[in-house]
Amino acid sequence: MIDNVVIRKFFASLVLFCSVIASSAIYANDPAPVTVLKESTIEMLAALKSRQGKLKSHPKYLEEQIRRIVVPKFDLTSMSQSVVGRRYWEQSSPAMQQAFIREFTDLVINVYSAPLLDYNGDKVQFLPLRENIGGQSRVVVQTIIVRPTGQRIAVNYSLKNSGAAWKVYDFSIEGI
């Protein structure tokens, strides 16, 4: 007779295996930059759902999740250089550049966390890419956040291929 623990472990493994297969099938037709954003979005939404009612009283949790999930997908050095301007960036010492990148990272986290504190089952739709990305190093991925109230918020991500991975170098919320 097979032990119930063994049966439960088998089914848990089977479910995990099926979810991995299903998630790879979901992304099979997506271009790489869309896949990067979808995977991060799914992971972030799962983190938000797990603490949905407690986000406002635990903002540190949200910051930790953004640092873990979102920040690695951003090219914060390029974003920082763009904000400062090429001339001033090149005139700055490496220590000043690193200090600015740290401060700018905190700003990005604050910009991202403010609307996420109000998370209430929002959905994210990914629009089809307007162009074929074959051979391109930069692409814009358009998304729409759909709130339970029906409000729709356009968020566009500009990504570039650094050779190793696609990373966000700019984003706009409602065109801003």
38-93 pLDDT per residue, tens: 999 999 989 888 887 777 788 888 899 999 999 999 999 999 999 999 999 999 99
Quick one: pLDDT at residue 51?
82
Would you state the pLDDT for residue 159?
94
> Does the structure show a pLDDT above 90 at 101?
yes
- Give Cβ neighbours of residue 57 (< 8 Å, ≥ 6 apart): none
Model's pTM, two decimal places? 0.73
DSSP state of 74: B
Averaged over 85-104, what is the pLDDT?
95
Structure tokens, 111: 């910009």
Q: How does pLDDT run across 121-160, given as a tens digit for each residue? A: 889 999 988 777 777 889 999 999 998 999 999 999 999 9
Q: Is the pLDDT of residue 110 over 80?
A: yes
Angstrom distances, CA of residue 100 to CA of 73, 74, 81, 82, 92? 18, 15, 9, 12, 10
Tell me the average pLDDT across 98-119: 88
Closest among 50, 53, 45 to 69, alpha carbons compared = 45
pLDDT at 11: 32
Encoding tokens for residue 20? Answer: 């991995």
Query: Is a pLDDT exceeding 50 seen at residue 26?
Result: no
Higher-confidence residue: 114 or 72?
72
CA distance 169 to 117: 24
Where does the pLDDT of residue 13 fall: very low under 50, low under 70, confident under 90, or very high at 90 and above?
very low
Residue 121's pLDDT is what?
A: 85
SS3 at position 131: coil
pLDDT, greater one: 96 or 23: 96
The pLDDT score that the predictor gives to residue 24 is 37
For residue 59, which phi and psi values (nearest 5 degrees)?
A: -65, -25
